[in-house]
Structure formats: structure tokens, C-alpha cells
């Protein structure tokens, strides 16, 4: 029996494959599209039974090749570029692909865990898993939103586990292939090592320079939540996956710089000191992002906690320090 992980060479997907390996699971079908060939590096230290291109995988699925052979599907495969403007591509890759997998898993009574996104909330201030809080600002967010609506409409007819996880701002190992879509922590790490300082956007939407707030969550914690639902196939739902605590981009910058300073045996500095010494620099807010940018996100994790998940989450200071340490080992 196999675990199928789509988007397996991507950020969250490869971390899920590694987590399954750490549980002793090697019968894993890794599905992805390796047009970005460098993503293979994310799977180089993982054990899998087979790799399939997305198109080959879908054909085998339609032909019944996997019938009776699947333990669960962890669906992370999607276009995650929030600036993508090709709506047809986005809807085919994110919506139709997900719909086909949902139909298959329900027909075969297979647990289906999939990646939704906090982007469905748009510019709102309430991040609760209910329709009135949802107002996507771009086609990426709309593709995720629309699939969540399908899941809701089919909710009472489901015959196997369905779990949608609305990822907030995830950071951590195995994201280096994402380019500009990689996390703030990743970019700040590289900026500091290259120039001895980091850059953040100036304030917008009433926030001070670097003061925009996001719910930053370590990929370690994101994986733990996935494993929790995999271990509890009787639990279903659409859940926010964040820490429940918003922190500023300044916090991420301070955590990154101080973790790097610690590696150089230099003392930690507070935000004011980092600013005074020119270690944090602010650049104009991009016009292209105005009206499409979430200046504040904070997951309401009540539904997740009510499902029984009780593990604590790493805050920015803890998670970023661990991430920096890992990046330094492989730099």
C-alpha cells in the first residue's frame, strides 16, 4: 500500500515525504512536475518507491492503476505563485487537478489531505474558516477558495477523510527552489550573508516600516499537523494552519540577523539597535502589490485545537533560529 504525495519535490511536499520516511514509510509515490529541475534536490535524501510526472500520474489514476493500493493522498501539488496572471493555467493546475483527486479518493474511500491557503481571506481582518470571512484578492487565492467551496458542498456526502489545511506563512528547509516566492526568512538570510544587512518594505496600510504582521509558521509544525490528521482518519474538516499569533516582518528580520550574529559569536541586538546600525534597511513598497497584499494575518486556530491537536507551535524567534542553523550547515 502506497502513500501518494503530490508536489513531492516542492517545499511542504518534500518535508512530508521526509517525515513519512522518519516513520519508516518508504512505499511513497512522489508526484511532481520537474520543469524546475533543481527541485530534485529536495528528494535526494528521501526514500520513495517511484516518481511520476503529474500527467503520467493522472493517466494511471484514470486507468485504475492505483485502485486498492493507496493508504492516503497528501495533495500539495499546485502553482503557488501568487503573482501568476494566467488564470486558465492556475485554475487547471490548482482547481481541476484537486477536483480530480478528490473524486478519486472519495470513490475509492481513501483519506485525502490537501493544501488550501490563508490567501482565501484576502484583505480581511478575521481569519476564521467560514464563508463570510473569505474574499480572495488574486487568482491563486480564488483557485484555493473555489476548491474549498466544492469540499463544503460535498461535506455531508463524504465517505472518507477530507482535510483541507489553510497554510499561513510557512518557512523552513527545502524551499530554496521557490525563488522570489521563498519565505522572508530565507531571503533575509541570504541578504545578510551577502551584504551584511537586510531589506524590508516600508510601511503600508497604516503599518510602520517593517511592521506589517503575518502568522509565520515553521514547516516543522506544518508537517506535524499533517501527520496528526494522517493518524486520525476519522477527523475531517477545513482548518487554519498557523500559530495563532501574528508577528511583524521586523521580528523575522531581528530573529534572522541575531541568529547569524550568534553564529559569529556576536551579541544579539534589539530592533532599535539593528535599525540604528543600518542592519535593517527599508525600501519602497512595490506599487504592483498595492491592493493585492495581506498586511495582516493571524490564524484563528480554534477549529484545529477543537479537533484535538494540542501541540505547541514554534514562535518566530524559535523557528527562525532553528532554520538559520540548518541553512548554515548546508550553505
Whether residue 151 contacts residue 48, with contact meaning beta carbons closer than 8 Å, is answered with: no
| pLDDT reported for residue 65 | 96
**DSSP-derived 3-state class of residue 52:** strand
Write out the DSSP string of 209-276: TT--EE-EEEHHHHHHHHHHHHH-TT--EEEEES-S--EEHHHHHHHHHHHHHHHTT-----HHHHHH
pLDDT per residue as tens digits for the range 271-315:
999 999 999 999 998 887 777 677 899 999 999 999 999 999 999
> Does the pLDDT at position 6 exceed 80?
yes
Residues 6 or more apart whose CB falls under 8 angstroms from that of 23 comprise 227
pLDDT average, residue stretch 235-241 = 98
Residue-level pLDDT at 144? 96
pLDDT digits (tens, 9 = 90+) for 43-102: 999 999 999 999 999 999 999 999 999 999 999 998 777 767 778 888 888 999 999 999
Instruction: Give me the pLDDT at residue 170, please.
Output: 98
Structural contact between residues 88 and 20, judged by C-beta atoms closer than 8 angstroms: no
Enzyme catalytic residues: 140, 178
For residue 231, name the pLDDT band (cuts at 50, 70, 90).
very high
How far is 170 from 182, CA to CA, in rounded Å? 9
Integer CA distances (angstroms), 226 to 192, 193, 219, in order: 32, 33, 11
Q: Which three cell numbers stand for residue 10?
A: 516542492
Local confidence band at 203 (pLDDT 50, 70, 90 cut-offs): confident
Q: What is the mean pLDDT of residues 209-221?
A: 97
Question: Whole-model pTM?
Answer: 0.95
Amino acid at each position: 500500500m502506497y502513500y501518494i504525495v503530490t508536489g513531492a519535490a516542492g517545499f511542504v511536499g518534500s518535508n512530508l515525504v521526509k517525515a513519512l520516511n522518519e516513520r519508516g514509510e518508504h512505499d511513497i509515490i512522489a508526484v511532481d512536475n520537474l520543469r524546475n529541475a533543481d527541485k530534485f534536490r529536495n528528494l535526494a535524501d528521501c526514500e520513495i518507491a517511484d516518481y511520476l510526472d503529474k500527467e503520467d500520474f493522472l493517466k494511471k489514476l484514470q486507468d485504475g492503476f492505483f485502485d486498492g493500493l493507496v493508504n492516503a493522498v497528501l495533495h500539495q501539488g499546485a502553482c503557488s505563485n501568487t503573482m501568476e496572471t494566467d488564470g486558465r493555467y492556475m485554475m487547471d493546475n490548482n482547481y481541476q487537478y484537486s477536483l480530480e483527486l478528490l473524486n478519486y479518493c472519495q470513490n475509492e474511500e481513501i483519506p485525502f489531505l490537501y493544501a488550501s491557503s490563508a490567501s482565501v481571506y484576502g484583505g480581511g481582518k478575521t481569519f476564521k474558516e467560514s464563508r463570510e470571512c473569505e474574499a480572495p484578492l488574486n487568482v491563486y487565492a480564488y483557485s484555493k477558495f473555489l476548491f474549498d467551496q466544492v469540499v463544503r458542498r460535498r461535506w455531508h456526502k463524504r465517505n472518507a477523510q477530507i482535510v483541507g489545511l489553510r497554510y499561513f506563512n510557512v518557512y523552513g528547509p527545502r524551499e530554496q527552489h521557490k525563488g522570489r516566492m521563498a519565505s522572508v526568512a530565507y531571503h533575509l538570510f541570504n541578504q545578510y550573508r551577502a551584504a551584511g544587512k537586510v531589506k524590508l518594505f516600508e510601511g503600508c496600510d497604516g503599518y510602520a516600516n517593517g511592521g506589517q504582521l503575518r502568522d509565520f509558521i515553521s514547516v516543522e509544525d506544518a508537517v506535524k499537523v499533517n501527520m496528526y490528521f494522517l493518524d486520525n482518519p476519522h477527523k475531517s474538516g477545513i482548518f487554519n494552519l498557523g500559530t495563532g499569533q501574528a508577528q511583524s516582518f521586523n521580528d523575522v528580520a531581528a530573529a534572522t540577523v541575531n541568529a547569524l550574529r550568534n553564529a559569529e559569536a556576536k551579541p544579539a541586538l534589539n530592533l532599535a539597535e539593528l535599525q540604528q546600525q543600518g542592519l535593517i534597511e527599508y525600501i519602497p513598497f512595490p506599487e504592483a502589490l498595492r491592493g493585492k497584499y495581506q498586511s495582516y494575518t493571524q490564524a484563528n486556530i480554534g477549529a484545529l485545537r477543537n479537533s484535538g491537536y494540542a501541540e505547541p507551535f514554534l514562535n518566530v524567534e524559535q523557528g527562525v533560529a532553528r532554520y538559520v542553523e540548518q541553512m548554515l550547515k548546508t550553505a
